[in-house]
Structure 1
Amino acid sequence: MEIYGSSSSIQAYDTNRLIISDIPRLLIINRPVEFTIDLSKAGKGQLEGSIPKQVKPLGNSKFHFTFIPLLNESHMISIKFNGHQVSGFPRQCQIITSDNVKIRGPSLNPILVGTQTWFTIDILHNDLSDLHVTIFTPTNEQLNPSTLLTSDGLRVDWTPSEIGTYIIHLILYGYSIPGSPFSVKSYDPKKILIIPPINDSTIGEPVKFLLDQPHVAYVHITINGIQIPLVAIRRHDDTFLLKFRPILAGDYLIILKDYIGQLIPGCPYNFPVYNPNGTHIEPFNRLQSINDCHFICNIDNVGQGKFFVMIYDPLKPIRIPCQIQNLSKNRIRISFLPSKIGTYKIYIAYRNIPINGKCIYLLCK
Structure 2
Amino acid sequence: MELGSKAKTCRDLAKEGNEISSDSTRSCETRSIRKPKVNDGRRNATFIRHASVLSPGSPWAVSVMAGPAGGGGESPRLIPARVPAVFEVSTAPGSASFGKNEVGVTVTAPSRRPVAARVLDLPERPGVYRIEFTPEEVGTHLVEVSIGGDKLAAGPLVAKVYDASLIRVTDLGNAIVGQQCQFKVDASAAGEGQLEISINEGEVPNHVQVVGGGRCLVFWRPETATPHRVDIKFNGEAVPSSPFVFHVAAAQKVSIDTSQIELIPVGETAACAVRVEGSSGGELTVTVRGPRGEIPVRLTGDAVSGLIASFTPRHVGPHTLTAHYNNQPIPGTPFVCKAYDGNLVNVTGGTLARVGVPVQLAVDAAQAGEGNLEITVAARGLNIPTQVHPQGNARFTVSFTPTEACDHVVNVSFNKMRVPGCPLVLSVSEGSGGGARVTLPGPVPLHRPAALTLHHPSASLDQIEVNVEGDRRVVSCKAIGAGPNGASVPAAVSAAGPGVFKAEFVPRAVGEHRLNVLVNSSPIPASPFHLKVYDVTAIRVKDVAHGTVGKPVTF
* TM-score grouping bracket, smaller chain normalisation: 0.3 to 0.5
Taking structure 1 as the reference length, the TM-score comes to 0.47
Q: Which of these two proteins has the greater Rg computed from alpha carbons?
A: 2
Bigger RCO of structures 1 and 2 (CA < 8 A, at least 6 apart): 1
Taking structure 2 as the reference length, the TM-score comes to 0.33
